[in-house]
Each structure stands twice: as structure tokens, then as C-alpha cells.
């Protein structure tokens, strides 16, 4: 077994082997076919996505004896020199601008650039980390980049193209590289594991892809670490979660199920297991937020897995679909918001466990908050028939009154007339939203006579007995005896009592 790093052992040797960058490799191959190769290129993008590798492949294509060609032969001297583990070519010069980015280095390059290639078609300079070149260095290169001799090609590679001065950028063909999609990266890692002949449990590759964050080199480095420590049974899920520091899926399942059922005891048992197991509470909260994100997407897009929105094994997808169905929409969204806010608060916290427990308490106790988000979460639980704990002195919310319970009482001592029925969670939900169709909302009108009520509620005529008064109108003085109270301006509609 070779001791060479995995990402070096499987470095692509042709554009066909580069994954996830078809928007770059296809135009470059077409330019090579048409013999319309520019004198200078700028490759930019995140680290580990193939910029320097593509620059080497382009140099190989240009100097192949059968080239310029999009498919180097691999047998000529130039191709062998620029192969994966080849000795390198004297006519392809790689410069690390991080350590050779000064004006003196640029002047030295400029003087040597005009000499022709020793045995290849082109002399090619690959300037890596080009953003580290100083302004004076770029200015020293400007003339030779603008008007190079026929045998000279430049390829700049950088993670920060905005730091390359505009006069250089304008003289290059700019190709932006991107992070590799999770599905593509997972498939590629699976092929690498098969070539290495080491079994990998299902569920490990998504963790590696997540750790790599779209970077092929980072993902290969993580995979190399796992393969190096694999035992007789290969790379196990438990080994991967422990080594990479991710939360075990069973802990996430337990806390999510505790949230959906309102089981505070189970939720805090999970917190205790997290701490006793030596897991980082911040990592646990980050993983929990990732799980809630997947549940929100599954609730909104049931076939999210088929569309590639979620990358997880089939059994995990099935389990998450059941978890998403166990939540109400408002309840799930509120839980994700609280966990997201809690993760921000945990940065720099002196007691991460306390912060984690507070996050769980906020999710489990919507009755402790009177904001619209919490009220909607409580209504979700009522509709699902889930009971939940309340704080000391807080009555359990078992019944949401209808609009008839909110009708105004008569000012003159008379009782209000009955309001059409329609209470329950649906009526309360509409009332919280404050929509125009709130059940039980009566048209505004003048208060009645003796026994009349504010806002047109009650009185002998019942709701809607009087036509709506103009905005801001005040009722006429009552014709009742002088002892009767004077009427007041029309009050808000019944639905407005709920508006915040």
C-alpha cells in the first residue's frame, strides 16, 4: 500500500477525470479542439476544488506531442513528465506566489520568460496563490502578460480573484471553479473506497462529504484518515462519528422525538448523554440544527431526497420523514428558529451545557412565551392532541375559546346577544393571524341604547343589527334616562382583540 496521500494518489490526469467542474472543463476542451487557446488564464474558486490540477492538465494538453488536444496521449515524454507522479517538466514552471510574490521575483520571471522552451511546444508558468503577489509584482508582470511571445502561456490560480489587480484580470480568461455538489462527491468517494478495497458502512460517506464541505481535497483527506484507521470490519459509522466529532444519529433522533411529543424528561436525558459522552454541546446544537433543517425541507418538499435536496441513506430519510410528520408546520419552524438563535448565543458562552438546556426548555415550553410564533406552535400541538408541560402556576391549555367568548359585554348592564359558533383551534388560529375573516367579527356600528354594547356587539339586534358607522363616528346620545351612561366611540371588531 502506497504511503502517498489519497488526494495525490487519485489526482486527475485529464479533464474527463475532473468532477463537478463541467462548466470549466467543457469550454477549455472545446477551445483546445478549435485551437483557440488564450495566452493567459485565471482560475479562481474555493480551496481543493481543482484549480491547480486543472492548470497542470491544461499544460499537459498544450505540450502533448499530439496537441494541442483535449485528450493528452499519456505516452509522449511531455505527458509522462506531467503525469500524476511524474518528475515534472522543465518547460512547465510552478511558482508559489505566497513565497515568491515580490517585485524582485516578478522581474526575475519576466527576464526568463522570453527564453524559448527547452523541448516542449510552450513555456507555461502556473502561478499558484496569485492573490499573494504584491501590487508592484503585478505591475512588473503587466507588460509580459499583456504582450507575451508566442511560446509563453500564463495560468493564475487563486482563491481570492478580487485581490488580483484589474489590469491583470482584464488580460486573462477567467474561469470560476465551484464547490462540488454532495451527491457527486459522495459517488466519487464511493468509487475511491472500492478501489482501495476497504468496506465502508452506510452513513459514513455523508459524514465525510459534510466534513469536506464541497472541497474534493478536504473530503479526500478526511477519507484518507478514516481508511488509515480502519479495522478488519472496515470503516464503521461509530468510528466515523467519534473521529470526526459529529453527533451520533440516535441522539438526534431521541431529542427530535422528545420535542415532537413534548417529553421534557427524554429531552434532558439526551442532554445528559451528550455531556457524559464527552461530546461538544456546540457541535450537538449545530448537528441538531442540520437535522431540523432537513425536517423543514421534508415537510415542505416530501420528495426532497429524490430531488437531491437531502443527502442521507434511505433508512435515515425514512426515519426523518416520520419525524417531519410528527411536527406541526409552525412548531417545526419555531424549533429551528430557537435552535439557530441558541447556536449564535453559544459562541463564546462560558457554560455551554446551560445554554443547551435553555434551548431545549424554550422549544419544549411554548406556553412560556406570548409571541405569535409560540401561540401557533401551541395550536399545532392542540390539533395533534399532544399534551405538554407548563410552568408552575401556568394552567394547561386544553381549550381554545371561540369568538363568542370574546364578544364585548354590554355597557348598560344588558347581556350581549349570541355570536355564531365556530370556536376551537381553527378559530383561534385565524384570530391570532388577525385576518379579515376572523370568526365572530361583527360589523362596526353605534352602540345600542340601554343594554347596548361597544362595537355593535350585543343589544337587542344582535351582531350586525346596525349598519356600519363611518370611521371615527361617535354614536348619538342615548335616549335612555339621564342616569344611563353615555355612548362611546365604536370599538374594534372582535377579531382585533387578538391582534398584536
Does 412 reside within a domain?
Answer: no
Do 196 and 318 lie in one domain? The reply is: no
Smallest CA-to-CA distance from 369 within 403, 408, 341, 347 is with 341
Give the H/E segment covering residue 93. Answer: strand 92-96
Q: What are the φ and ψ backbone dihedral angles of 182, each rounded to 5 degrees?
A: -60, -40
Do 41 and 89 lie in one domain? The reply is: yes
Do 19 and 89 lie in one domain? The reply is: yes
Residue 300: Cβ within 10 Å count: 13
Helix residue ranges, H only, 385-486: 425-433
Question: What proportions of the chain, in percent to the nearest 5, are helix, strand and coil?
Answer: 50, 5, 45
Do 191 and 319 lie in one domain? The reply is: no
Does 131 reside within a domain?
Answer: yes
Does 25 reside within a domain?
Answer: yes
How do beta strands 173-176 and 92-96 pair?
unpaired
Map residue 391 onto helix, strand or coil.
coil
- Inter-axis angle of helices 329-346 and 352-364, nearest 10: 160
Q: What is the DSSP letter of 395?
A: P
- For residue 19, the domain's CATH number is 3.40.50.300
Does 206 reside within a domain?
Answer: yes
The answer to whether the beta carbons of residues 452 and 412 sit under 8 Å apart is yes
Does 1 reside within a domain?
Answer: no
The answer to whether the beta carbons of residues 160 and 45 sit under 8 Å apart is no
Does 289 reside within a domain?
Answer: yes
Domain boundary among 244, 265, 298: 244
Does 390 reside within a domain?
Answer: no
Grid-cell match 427530535, residue found: 256
Number of domains in the chain: 3
Do 42 and 160 lie in one domain? The reply is: yes
Q: Annotate 219-241 with b (16+ C-beta within 10 A) or e (fewer).
A: bbbbbbbbbeebeeebbbbebbb
Do 120 and 239 lie in one domain? The reply is: no
The answer to whether the beta carbons of residues 485 and 477 sit under 8 Å apart is no
From CA 77, how far away is CA 13, in angstroms rounded? 15
- For residue 203, the domain's CATH number is 1.10.8.60
Do 195 and 288 lie in one domain? The reply is: no
Please report, for the chain, how many H helices and E strands are present, in that order. Answer: 19, 5
Does 39 reside within a domain?
Answer: yes
Do 270 and 217 lie in one domain? The reply is: no
Do 294 and 219 lie in one domain? The reply is: no
Do 146 and 206 lie in one domain? The reply is: no
Domain that holds residue 308: 249-384
Q: What are the φ and ψ backbone dihedral angles of 260, each rounded to 5 degrees?
A: -70, -30
From CA 254, how far away is CA 271, in angstroms rounded? 10
**The C-alpha cell that represents 434 in the structure block:** 388577525
Do 172 and 267 lie in one domain? The reply is: no
Q: Annotate 370-392 with b (16+ C-beta within 10 A) or e (fewer).
A: eebebbbbbbbbbeeebebeeee
Do 239 and 257 lie in one domain? The reply is: no
Cα angle 332, 335, 336 (rounded to 5 degrees) comes to 90
The per-residue pLDDT string of the chain (500 residues; one tens digit each, 9 = 90 and over) reads 567 899 999 999 999 999 999 999 999 999 999 999 999 999 999 999 999 999 999 999 999 998 799 999 988 999 999 988 888 899 999 999 989 889 999 999 999 998 989 889 999 999 999 999 999 999 999 999 999 999 999 999 999 999 999 999 999 999 999 999 988 999 999 999 999 999 999 889 999 999 999 999 999 999 999 999 888 889 998 899 888 888 888 999 999 999 999 899 999 999 999 999 888 999 999 999 999 999 999 999 988 888 888 888 888 899 999 999 988 888 899 999 999 999 999 888 888 999 999 999 999 987 666 666 667 766 766 666 655 444 444 444 444 444 444 444 444 444 444 444 545 555 555 555 555 444 444 444 444 444 444 444 444 444 444 444 444 444 444 444 444 444 444 444 444 444 43
The DSSP-derived string for 462-473 is: -TT-SPPPPTT-
Amino acid at each position: 500500500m502506497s504511503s502517498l496521500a489519497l488526494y495525490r494518489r487519485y489526482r486527475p490526469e485529464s479533464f474527463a477525470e475532473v468532477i463537478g467542474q463541467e462548466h470549466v472543463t467543457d469550454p477549455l476542451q472545446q477551445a483546445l479542439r478549435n485551437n483557440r487557446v488564450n495566452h493567459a488564464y485565471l482560475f479562481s474558486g474555493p480551496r481543493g476544488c481543482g484549480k491547480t490540477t486543472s492548470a497542470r492538465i491544461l499544460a499537459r494538453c498544450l505540450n502533448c506531442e499530439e496537441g494541442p488536444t483535449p485528450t493528452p496521449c499519456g505516452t509522449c515524454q511531455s505527458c509522462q513528465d506531467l503525469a500524476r507522479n511524474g518528475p515534472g517538466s522543465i518547460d512547465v514552471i510552478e511558482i508559489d506566489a505566497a513565497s515568491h510574490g515580490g517585485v524582485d521575483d516578478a522581474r526575475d520571471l519576466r527576464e526568463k520568460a522570453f527564453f524559448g522552451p527547452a523541448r516542449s511546444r510552450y513555456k507555461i508558468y502556473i502561478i499558484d496563490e496569485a492573490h499573494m503577489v504584491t501590487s508592484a509584482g503585478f505591475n512588473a508582470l503587466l507588460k509580459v502578460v499583456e504582450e507575451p511571445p508566442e511560446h509563453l502561456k500564463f495560468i493564475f490560480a487563486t482563491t481570492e480573484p478580487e485581490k488580483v489587480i484589474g489590469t491583470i484580470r482584464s488580460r486573462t480568461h477567467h474561469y470560476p471553479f465551484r464547490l462540488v455538489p454532495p451527491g457527486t462527491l459522495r459517488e466519487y468517494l464511493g468509487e475511491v473506497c472500492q478501489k482501495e478495497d476497504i468496506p465502508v458502512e452506510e452513513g459514513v460517506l455523508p459524514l465525510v462529504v459534510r466534513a469536506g464541505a464541497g472541497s474534493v481535497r478536504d473530503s479526500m483527506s478526511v477519507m484518507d484518515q478514516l481508511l488509515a484507521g480502519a479495522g478488519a470490519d472496515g470503516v464503521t459509522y461509530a468510528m466515523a462519528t467519534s473521529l470526526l466529532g459529529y453527533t451520533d444519529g440516535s441522539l438526534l433522533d431521541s431529542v427530535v422525538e422528545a420535542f415532537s411529543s413534548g417529553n421534557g424528561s427524554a429531552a434532558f436525558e439526551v442532554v445528559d448523554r451528550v455531556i457524559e459522552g464527552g461530546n461538544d454541546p456546540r457541535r450537538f446544537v449545530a448537528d441538531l440544527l442540520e437535522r431540523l433543517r432537513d425536517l423543514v425541507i421534508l415537510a415542505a418538499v416530501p420528495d426532497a431526497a429524490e430531488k437531491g435536496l437531502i443527502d442521507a441513506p434511505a433508512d435515515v430519510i425514512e426515519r426523518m420523514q416520520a419525524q417531519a410528520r410528527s411536527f406541526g408546520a409552525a412548531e417545526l419552524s419555531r424549533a429551528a428558529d430557537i435552535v439557530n438563535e441558541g447556536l449564535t448565543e453559544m459562541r463564546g458562552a462560558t457554560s455551554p451545557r446551560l445554554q443547551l438546556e435553555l434551548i431545549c426548555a424554550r422549544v419544549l415550553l411554548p406556553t412560556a412565551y406570548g409571541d405569535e410564533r409560540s401561540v401557533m406552535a401551541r395550536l399545532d400541538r392542540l390539533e395533534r392532541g399532544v399534551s405538554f408541560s407548563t410552568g408552575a402556576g401556568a394552567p394547561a391549555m386544553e381549550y381554545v375559546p371561540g369568538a363568542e367568548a370574546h364578544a364585548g359585554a354590554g355597557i348598560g348592564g344588558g347581556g350581549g346577544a349570541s355570536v355564531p359558533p365556530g370556536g376551537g383551534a381553527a378559530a383561534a388560529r385565524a384570530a391570532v393571524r388577525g385576518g379579515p375573516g376572523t370568526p365572530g367579527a361583527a360589523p362596526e356600528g353605534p352602540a345600542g341604547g340601554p343594554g347596548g354594547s361597544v362595537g355593535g356587539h350585543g343589544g337587542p339586534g344582535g351582531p350586525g343589527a346596525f349598519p356600519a358607522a363611518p370611521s371615527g363616528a361617535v354614536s348619538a346620545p342615548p335616549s335612555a334616562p339621564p342616569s344611563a351612561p353615555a355612548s362611546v366611540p365604536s370599538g374594534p371588531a372582535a377579531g382585533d382583540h387578538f391582534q398584536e
